[in-house]
Amino acid sequence: MRTLVGCVIRLVFATAMLCASVASAQEINVDAALAQAEEAREEVVRANILLTGETAEDFWALYKEYRATLGPVQNDQVNLVVEYSKVYTDISDAQATRLFNQMLALRKRESEIKAEYLEKFRQILSPKHAMRYAQIEHKLDTAIQWDAAVNIPLIDQ
């Protein structure tokens, strides 16, 4: 079985390509990069949460639903970064305010979805499996956020 750290490398690589390209305003296929990152994310989860039988079926059905619900919010976050990458060197106060407000709204929505679905996962998984899954999700999200923090430049003053 692969370790969580080993599997995260592929996910971070996929998101690094996306973030670095966005940050440098290079043209990339955002949909393809997001699909690759999502595939890598599922691979990490599959390698690190071992379930069988009906529990596995219920988990993976809910996992697909969860990722489908969260996907549009995360796509909007990427689109926000793409927009930011085009203006960050000469951004107006109005643009900065709008982008900042959008970022906050998207983070809030993402947090609401995560809380809703983690509670649903708790209903179908044992307490240990639910906690492990929450940890895996947190580690993946943290790896992606770290990569974005490194690659997305600060706004000019």
pLDDT (tens, 9 = 90+) of the chain, 157 residues, equals 345 444 454 455 555 555 555 555 556 677 788 888 899 999 999 999 999 999 999 999 999 999 999 999 988 988 898 888 888 889 999 999 999 999 999 999 999 999 999 999 999 999 999 999 999 999 999 988 888 888 888 887 7
Residue 88 forms part of a structural domain = yes
For residue 19, what are its two tokens?
């973030």
As a whole number of angstroms, the distance between CA 148 and CA 157 comes to: 20
Residue 156 covered by a domain: no
- The whole-angstrom distance between residue 24's C-alpha and the CA centroid of its chain comes to 20
Answer yes or no: is 146 within a domain: yes
Domain count, the chain: 1
Q: Which long-range contacts (CB under 8 A, 24 or more apart) does 113-120 make?
A: 113/66, 113/69, 113/70, 113/73, 114/70, 117/62, 117/65, 117/66, 117/69, 117/70, 120/62, 120/66
Is residue 41 included in any domain, yes or no?
yes
Chain centroid, CA 127 distance in Å = 24
Tokens 């770290």, residue located: 146
Contact between 153 and 23 under an 8 Å Cβ cutoff? The reply is: yes
Q: Per the domain annotation, does 16 fall within a domain?
A: yes
Q: Which domain holds residue 95?
A: 4-151
Q: What is the DSSP letter of 25?
A: T
**Domain annotation covers residue 77:** yes
* Residue 55 CA, distance from chain mean position: 24
Burial degree of 22 (CB within 10 A; 0-12, 13-18, 19+): buried
Residue 107 lies in a domain: yes
CA–CA distance, 68 with 87 (Å, rounded to integer):
30
Residue 157 lies in a domain: no
Task: Please tell me the predicted confidence (pLDDT) of residue 5.
Answer: 47
Q: Is there a contact between 87 and 95 (Cβ–Cβ < 8 Å)? A: yes
Q: Residue 116: which of 55, 60, 70, 59 has the closest Cα?
A: 70
